[in-house]
Structure 1
């Protein structure tokens, strides 16, 4: 009996997942309008499954993505990903949720999330790790 080896799936690696700024802007716009009933319409065909990979991007990748957005836009991305994780199948992320990384970005910018946002996150999520991540 031999011992096999495991090779990570490089296709799902952080660096190979394309992040479309225009798509993120759609997420921000949906949050600004509180149009949560239109969430499914953002994903025609199989794009729901393809876009779910955004939920598994790592901390450094989200920090880099956030550089392209002001703090208000990041707040709306936090709201979008909070709701998406609850409502979209396959978008569950636990302690690795983009919400965790984006809240950290806000704190690094010395613009921590308002108490109202933190209460909103808790009210709209069953993910016990939001908004702060794992306590490691």
Structure 2
């Protein structure tokens, strides 16, 4: 009789942060942010998206942003701003995905406009948005 080594499949947060999963989910979130429907009507569209997505490490968002254009990043910023305010468990504070995404836009020489900054302020009570703790 031989004894082999059993290696369990990895599940949980590691799988949820795979590039393929995130891009598919992020595309859905971008579509939600772009739609004219009120945010709360779209809740069913992202029920399976883990709330931990908004709190992924800063570097993850910097790397992930390479796959998206500036308009798409703005839509992600809009989505995460609204999600934090309207969905239970999506609060992120200084860990919000909005912060690295706004930094990427600034690095691309397409910083948030005055109108965008005002929109974030009007739709969030997170004092760290959009640029993080100072």
TM-score (norm 2): 0.82
Which stretches in structure 2 are left out of the alignment for 5+ residues?
A: 1-11
Shift of 1:16: 6.5
State the Cα RMSD in Å: 1.9
The equivalent residue for 1:81 is 80
Query: Structure 1 132/39 Cα, relative in aligned 2: closer, same or farther at 3 Å?
Result: same
Q: Deviations over 1:78-112 (max 9, x none)?
A: 00000000111111000110001100010011110
The equivalent residue for 1:30 is 32
The equivalent residue for 1:40 is 43
Larger Rg: 2
Q: Deviations over 1:14-47 (max 9, x none)?
A: x862342121111111111132133311134xx2
Q: Distance in 1 between matches of 2:27 and 2:46?
A: 14
Structure 1 residue runs of 4+, over 2 Å off? 15-20
Verify: 1:64 aligned to 2:63, yes or no. Answer: yes
Equivalent residues in 2 for 1:1-136, closer than 5 Å: 12=13, 17-18=17-18, 19-35=21-37, 36-44=39-47, 47-48=48-49, 51-135=50-134
Which stretches in structure 1 are left out of the alignment for 5+ residues?
A: 1-10
Task: Assess if the C-alpha contact under 8 Å between 1:17 and 1:53 holds in 2.
Answer: no
